Chain A
């Protein structure tokens, strides 16, 4: 791209810096809720000495990196996903020859930082290109795509493009002002029925923190929220490239009645803002209950207390009394999660045995905790077993982990194992809003026992297709492969039960239509259905793997994950991205990082940015000390021969590994 004369002047001014970022471009192509994002940066070492140039990108934890390439002075390094051991061997060979470098992937709570540094001589040009893919999930009636923009400095060519293609049409689109109000007029949204283009292309002047500042103001989250048209309650069945995806998000159904036991941690660690915000959230949550709902509250520290031993209807009198009870809680003491959960289950069992629970209603336990158990049963695996044993098929457990001192993995495991979901609550970012928002997500169950089925001879390798509940504003998604057939029609059959109703919904789709449409779209992601199926399958298998009852089963699942990840080029916890120069003499590795150990976060290393974003800003944690990383190219001269224009050898190479 050609700079205007004014921009050229600015650019010249920036060039005075040691490192010049010529361009920083982010492009996301969203097709049917599946996103392929490319982050490209072109950087020049404009200083007089060789120096390290870094490329840091924050990507959502749920995303899979699919590729990373670099072009260093015309030498191209191309990435390919390999089985971990294979990649490690190749990397070791390169390392033995002194031709290797590292990529750090640091984990935070929701985000992960991809970071690489390359040491290059003055005047060198380097281009980085990172690709990742993710599936958006619908929450509270919309999809949200976020990009963490941290160019680090003023960039002459800074550009963000998000292209959305939704075959059934876009019903609404908005760009919340997460990046700052000064960008309101700079963000352009172009929309037609099926497509949208959101672009952000600030000039150098618009990027400045103040009129004469040389620092960039771009440092935060760029978010796009949208929803799609839904003609009917049967959902959208889409077929492309031999794969199908069925989206099911019915509305206009009456919510099912709820029976909720709130289990609230009131141990000493909740003292202060956490308890204050929990109380604030509970006041609003309790107000949302209706006379048709039944509820009770259990608060626990080392002891377990019940506001009411029995479930009571959500009448205004009961709600008022419960609010008063919550208001008077004073946190202190230890944490007896096991006992509290057992009491909650017993309460639901008792209500069920007494016929108090409508068989079509939804029974749930909502656990709010900020720390590990310290009293009673403290072994997490035993608590997990106890809860699973006690819970009935018709009960669900939802877990909310406040802060960083809680073993979130444990909370997630017990929730998913018991037909619920988990969410982390960031205590320092308006926890009350986060708690209420989570409650809003699960407070309107519309359907139970949902099965999305297809004729046996029409599909194979179908992802999870039976769901315990469907909540208003969310979406159930099933994907699979379409078997070759003479017919151009694929049929799905959904069965579910709603309040008093049993529903069977049938959807038919022409299997050729969408591919024909996608071929016409310039910015669509044509392989979306194939990648989406692989993405969902790998995620599902990873979760099954963590719960695998035997080593044999685990090995089998591992093989399945690896096979799909290699075929679809996903960097998963079991695969590695090997980045090689074209002649395969120099190599980098990018593994998927481990989750941070809980409680580790207080000393975390901030990697910058995110402060202007609303909502929780993750604390960035590097669980290994950041490695000293260098890359050598071309063939390294010996240290003795090295001149100022030559390239430095790595003194130490660290790779990040996590399996």
Chain B
């Protein structure tokens, strides 16, 4: 999956890919302060393309510990559990479900938004592909707003950027590909070689998406994210990140 991180103060977007294995669960947000854990499990495409197996999010889990509620969104349906009860909703439904402080809005075949105590919101988009496509599979996209009110303890592949890092980009110049500029980025004490490119935001236009121009970090976000991407692999869908 690809990640786009919007940095409001720096007025720029930074992006990177995480290339891991199907089945791996990546922690996206882990906030032991508010009790929120958001994890994404990877699925692979049906076949390799150019000797590479692309991975996507096939399942996104949003677990809100204070209410004991877990919302597991997969490409086949939406499951709401609270330890004792288990309710399943299909993507074919437009539904609104409220349980204690958690509100789940499902828009038929489009998206699910989970809002916790009106302060934290996570939106998951469904991307359907042609069932008989030789390579592609249905997958999910996750969108987390910058104004979510996490605790200072928040971390995770996305969560860590709620504290916006200082980013400086310089040495902007022509790259190997004449259409893509290259530059040097200084972030978190690292000096990184970055490439100007674009990735898609599908919130407005789910079919074609809108291009978001961003500075691309190579090697699975190495240097931009804290540690190595493998540090964010967790054992279960409801797991918090242990640091």
**Contact among A234, A254, A292 for B87, CB-based, below 8 A:** A254
Given contacts A233-B89, A252-B87, contact A501 B94 (CB under 8 A): no
**Contact among B84, B85, B88, B94 for A234, CB-based, below 8 A:** B94
Is residue B96 contacting chain A, with contact meaning CB distance below 8 A? Answer: yes
B87 touches A232 (CB 8 A): no
**Contact among A232, A252, A502 for B92, CB-based, below 8 A:** A232
B95 touches A234 (CB 8 A): yes
Is residue B97 contacting chain A, with contact meaning CB distance below 8 A? Answer: yes
**Contact among A232, A254, A508 for B86, CB-based, below 8 A:** A254
A-B contact pairs, 18 of them (CB 8 A): A231-B92, A232-B93, A232-B108, A233-B88, A233-B89, A233-B90, A233-B93, A234-B95, A252-B89, A254-B87, A500-B100, A501-B80, A501-B99, A502-B98, A503-B97, A504-B97, A505-B93, A506-B95
B92 touches A234 (CB 8 A): yes
Docked CA distance A504–B100 (Å): 15
B85 touches A499 (CB 8 A): yes
Which parts of A609-627 form the interface with B (CB within 8 Å)?
A: none
Is residue B82 contacting chain A, with contact meaning CB distance below 8 A? Answer: yes
The interface residues of chain B, by DSSP majority, are classed as: strand
B89 touches A232 (CB 8 A): yes
B99 touches A234 (CB 8 A): no
Is residue A498 contacting chain B, with contact meaning CB distance below 8 A? Answer: yes
| Per-position 1/0 for A505-522, Cβ under 8 A of B | 111100000000000000
**Distance (Å) between the CB of B32 and the closest chain A CB?**
24
**Distance (Å) between the CB of B68 and the closest chain A CB?**
10
A252 touches B88 (CB 8 A): yes
**Distance (Å) between the CB of B201 and the closest chain A CB?**
26
Q: Which residue of A lies closest to B88 (CB)?
A: A252
Given contacts A500-B82, A500-B99, A500-B100, contact A505 B87 (CB under 8 A): no
Q: Which residue of A lies closest to B77 (CB)?
A: A252
CB-defined contacts of B95 to chain A, threshold 8 Å: 233-234, 503-506
Is residue A184 contacting chain B, with contact meaning CB distance below 8 A? Answer: no
B85 touches A500 (CB 8 A): yes
In the complex, the 10 A-B pairs of residues with the closest C-beta atoms, listed nearest first = A232-B92, A254-B85, A252-B88, A232-B93, A232-B90, A506-B94, A504-B96, A231-B92, A234-B93, A499-B85
Most chain A CB neighbours (cut-off 10 Å) among B82, B85, B93, B97: B93
CB-defined contacts of A504 to chain B, threshold 8 Å: 95-97
CB-defined contacts of B90 to chain A, threshold 8 Å: 231-233
CB-defined contacts of A501 to chain B, threshold 8 Å: 80, 85, 87, 97-99
Is residue A92 contacting chain B, with contact meaning CB distance below 8 A? Answer: no
B interface residue count range (under 10 / 10 to 19 / 20 to 34 / 35 or more) = 20 to 34
Docked CA distance A232–B86 (Å): 16
Most chain B CB neighbours (cut-off 10 Å) among A234, A498, A501: A501
| Per-position 1/0 for B68-84, Cβ under 8 A of A | 00000000000010101
Is residue A253 contacting chain B, with contact meaning CB distance below 8 A? Answer: yes
Q: Which residue of A lies closest to B83 (CB)?
A: A500
A interface residue count range (under 10 / 10 to 19 / 20 to 34 / 35 or more) = 10 to 19
Q: Which residue of A lies closest to B105 (CB)?
A: A504
| Per-position 1/0 for A301-313, Cβ under 8 A of B | 0000000000000
B93 touches A502 (CB 8 A): no
Q: A232-B91, A233-B95, A501-B98 are in contact. List 9 more A-B contacts (CB 8 A).
A: A231-B92, A232-B90, A234-B92, A252-B88, A254-B86, A501-B85, A502-B99, A503-B95, A506-B93
| Per-position 1/0 for A468-501, Cβ under 8 A of B | 0000000000000000000000000000001111
CB-defined contacts of A252 to chain B, threshold 8 Å: 86-89
B96 touches A503 (CB 8 A): yes
B87 touches A498 (CB 8 A): yes
CB-defined contacts of B93 to chain A, threshold 8 Å: 232-234, 505-507
CB-defined contacts of A292 to chain B, threshold 8 Å: 84
CB-defined contacts of A506 to chain B, threshold 8 Å: 93-95, 108
Docked CA distance A232–B93 (Å): 6
CB-defined contacts of B80 to chain A, threshold 8 Å: 501
B97 touches A502 (CB 8 A): yes
Which parts of A204-242 form the interface with B (CB within 8 Å)?
A: 231-234
Docked CA distance A508–B89 (Å): 16
**Distance (Å) between the CB of A304 and the closest chain B CB?**
35
Most chain A CB neighbours (cut-off 10 Å) among B80, B82, B87, B98: B87
**Distance (Å) between the CB of B202 and the closest chain A CB?**
22
**Distance (Å) between the CB of B241 and the closest chain A CB?**
28
